[in-house]
Structure 1
């Protein structure tokens, strides 16, 4: 569960995120939607501790990430908006490095790496350097690393970018399975069709402010019943 209380991020006089209040519950896939530059990535980076908020409180499973960052970060796995990290390592070196950070046992990591690398069809490339990977392969190795310690909370910034259709389908199914077990998934996306199909609730952000938070049924109460998420999204953000 994630709680944001009056979160803001300022860069000089510019308000990147303005006084956000948000609660993301256990057992739900929560979609974070917005146009480019709306504040999605900034908000996710504050939630994960990559950026420090200018004001407000962020609780991860009731742990304040600003006061207890290490304990809070053990609660989640984070897929950033760019997979271009640790490029000099091989895939298996990177996965073992991540497993070491989270104290994943040798037996558990081997089983998990075998399972996930086969699922995402990247096993044959694990001994190659990440810099030789395509964008999609880099995205896969980062996702596998995030899932190694089986975190209860997944935070994914545009996780489908670069994935082939089969891998995207696998990830969407895994997201649903994860929340069906009582866990939580928070992800940002530009692909409204994905959000419409798998999200329990969504928040729409634009110019650093939350314009809507709720499920599609609640959103449709404000619009025509037959409106698609795309039409509602465009109307909400274009009216700003």
Structure 2
């Protein structure tokens, strides 16, 4: 569920069993967060602070091409969300000692919401934006000369990020971390696996001002039955509370 192949030729509408799976994924994230809260309260979860500059990817062609496309298509609020997605994911990965490809992860994280940008086609009401965004990025990277498997992996990570919880074993650490970083920024899940000093540094560099509007959480007209429509429906269409107050 959620890959580009899964969504090929469709609008990304979920079958009944897939809706149940999505809800289960979201519940799993909530259970993990509750356990983290208890562990933190009893002093069993104390991540070490890290320098953010050490987590930045090298200036590879993949990183440069992805960042250029993001800079051309994203407004500041959405771009900052994408940066926070990368950094939160990288900080969580460091705490959990997950190995990943920084360039591939960055490319997917910085472009994971391109389907929400102005003038993106197709419109939200006609197709799941994660699928159309993943396809757009895959095709863009391929046209820029990146190997097919690399472009496909970045595209799949983007398409998968709305699953709530993405298995690293099934889909790779990069897709797993895009979802973890995005969920952390929107809902705060996983924030206790990030040292307070590192968290504050991320928010200082990339402020959250305007993130709810940029993500169109309360205003988007998503196609009925797609993952974003189901997820916003579960919340009653209301934006989540500020997770880093």
Determine if the TM-score, normalized by the shorter chain, exceeds 0.5.
Answer: no
- Write 1 or 2 for the structure with the bigger share of strand: 1
Higher helix share: 2
TM superposition score normalised by structure 2: 0.29
Rg larger for: 1
The TM-score with structure 1 as length reference comes to 0.29
